[in-house]
Structure 1
Amino acid sequence: MTDIATRLLGRIGRGYRVVGPFSLVLVALVLAAIFAPWLAPNDPNSQNLLGRLKPPGTEARGILYLLGSDELGRDLLSRIIYGARVSLSVALLSVVLSGVVGTTLGMAAGYLRGWTEAVIMRLADIFLSIPAILLAIITVAVLGPGFVNVILVLALTRWPRYARVAYGQTLSVANMPYVRLARAMGASWPRVLLRHILPNIIAAMAVIATLEFGLMVLFEAGLSFLGLGVQPPTPSWGATLSVGRNYVTSAWWIATFPGICLFLLVLSVNLIGDRLSEYLNPKSR
């Protein structure tokens, strides 16, 4: 028992050394998004044409640009902080919405079987056969860009992944003795799903949601980069990157700093998701 405990503590320690610093990065970005009005040194939409394209650390008309300014003289640091709020909000809401829809449909397909299973899983196959970013671009082009529409589009394109995982997990749990007993005692299928099946598959769904979170951040940035996401003047990392590509040689900081934040956020979420997957997988213990 002592050797097993020692090996387990060693694995936890190694995992923390890898994930720990990136967990702090994620916490810092989340706190920056929550307290953006108090942390941002300037109004993110305030223009100062005399201070346009100023490099980091310079000052113009009494405004200190710690990370430089953009083409309209707006403070890049303030726009990055407020952009974190947009990226995290879109990712969180789209993950929650797609997770609820996909998990519900997947559990229904795995438990009810028959025509319900055939309709839901074939519909999921159709959505999965289309590249997600292409489907998102087409849908946004039809519905129009905007904060709410981006969330709906991302949820629409990603629910099949939750549905397939929930479907497979439900098939393995539906034949357990306690599920058959609840069914024999007259429990309705919604009650069986909520009380007996969902608690047993929630861990797997949480891992999928964690990994999907980073992907939602990238999708939102990609749509904003193409002009189909959150619309100006609302700060967005993707929109800032789109502007920065026009000034790569003369104002490198416009694209560099939002790109670094985007990279750190996605990397942190993916590492945490991988560690969570290992922790919740009994075969890895």
Structure 2
Amino acid sequence: MRSAIGKIRPFFQTRSGSVPVAVFVAIVAALVVVAIFAPLIAPYSPNSQNLLGRLKPPGTVARGVTYWLGSDELGRDLLSRLIHGARISLSAAFLSVMLSGCVGVLLGMLAGYVRGWIEIVIMRVVDIFLSIPAILLAIITVAVLGPGFINVVLVLALTRWPRYARVAYGQTLSVAGMPYVRLAHAMGAGRGRILSLHILPNIVAPLSVVATLEFGLMVLFEAGLSFLGLGVQPPASSWGAMLSVGRNYVSTAWWIATFPGLALFLLVLSVNLIGDRLSEFLNPKSR
């Protein structure tokens, strides 16, 4: 137990004068807890309307309802919608990262280890996907498949798997020539065993950094699609959809767009800084 803590402790040690990474880890952890227990934490139903309490500023009490962060154009509690929106944003980002990571890592390792025509086909497909702007590809694909939570997850995974494939391919090329990999092959180990037991554990570190940075990007992509009306559909709450509504009331109800924007800012900033710190921690040359 002590040895495990000793290995993790350097990750939280930052240079003097900089904000401790533990602060950003705490922010992400708090948002994850809020997303998991949203029905228990939210003071009201996110879809409960109160037309007499529409567009109320933060701290207003109307018909027995306290709007701690204000209300939207339909009198719905903004705090409750923000809490439930965290569940949608985080779950969409997590599922898309897992799906795109699994597909990209598998194809990248196959291309880097098997080589031959498999390498040529996979890497040319990767080049084609990477040549198209990811957000443009996501918008076109969602427009074809239709909006919805499942389609958003599939689209985000479809547009981002080449990033994992590229990293896994390069790392596999460097690991495949190691003596222990050649020895395992000489002793009759199959490709699946070599890839899963000898190559994958040695390329997890850079892939973890990519996944961390991609998580923040997936949050932004989901918010962008919802902002354009191509993501999760009403009445479900989504930070991007709340921003889309809030832009129409910036001058009269600033809180509708401000609080979801701050939540997105804090989450993406925290995840990116954790990813940067993780990259430094896993790369001995940067220490």
Q: TM-score range by the shorter chain?
A: over 0.9
* One-letter code aligned to 2:52: L
Partner residue of 2:225?
A: 223
Q: CA deviation at 1:12?
A: 2.1
SS in structure 1 at match of 2:13: helix
Higher mean Cα deviation, 61-70 or 180-189?
A: 180-189
Match of 1:168 in 2: 170
Letter aligned with residue 96 of structure 2: S
Larger displacement relative to structure 2 (19-28 or 247-256)? 19-28
> Which residue of structure 2 lines up, in the alignment, with residue 108 of structure 1?
110
Matched with 1:99 is: 101
Find 1:203's aligned residue among 193, 205, 208: 205
1:133 paired residue number? 135
How far off is 1:187 after superposition?
A: 1.1
TM-score normalised to structure 2 length: 0.94
Task: State the Cα distance separating 1:18 from its structure 2 match.
Answer: 2.8
Equivalent pairs, count: 278
Distance verdict in 2 for CA 1:256–1:283, change over 3 Å:
same
Q: Which amino acid aligns with 1:238?
A: G
- 3-state SS, counterpart of residue 14 of structure 1: coil
How much does 1:10 deviate?
Answer: 11
Partner SS for 1:222: helix
User: Which residue of structure 2 aligns with residue 278 of structure 1?
Assistant: 280
Shift of 1:11: 8.8
1:5 aligned partner? none
The yes-or-no answer on 1:153 pairing with 2:155 is yes
Distance in structure 2 (CA, Å) of the matches to 1:53 and 1:190: 58
Structure 1: 5+ residue stretches without partners? 1-7
Cα contact 2:34–2:41 (8 A) shared by 1 = yes
Which residue is equivalent to 1:259? Answer: 261
- What's the RMSD between the two structures over aligned residues? 1.5
Picking from 236, 243, 254, the partner of 1:241 is 243
Identical counterparts, % of pairs = 77
Structure 1 residue aligned with 2:5: none
Match of 2:21 in 1: 19
Cα separation, 2, equivalents of 1:26 and 1:191: 35
* Alpha-carbon distance, 1:86 to partner: 0.3
Residue ranges of structure 2 left out of the alignment (5+ in a row)? 1-8
The 3 A distance-change label for structure 1 pair 9 and 91 is: closer
Instruction: Name the structure 2 match of 1:49.
Output: 51
The answer (yes or no) to whether the contact 2:14–2:21 under 8 Å persists in 1 is: no
Aligned to 2:183: 181
The TM-score with structure 1 as length reference comes to 0.95
| Aligned counterparts of 1:185 and 1:9: Cα–Cα separation in 2 | 39
Does the C-alpha gap of structure 1 residues 11 and 256 become closer, same or farther in structure 2, counting only changes over 3 Å?
closer
1:284: Cα distance to partner? 1.5
What residue number does 1:4 align with? Answer: none
User: How far apart, in 1, do the equivalents of 2:262 and 2:72 lie?
Assistant: 16
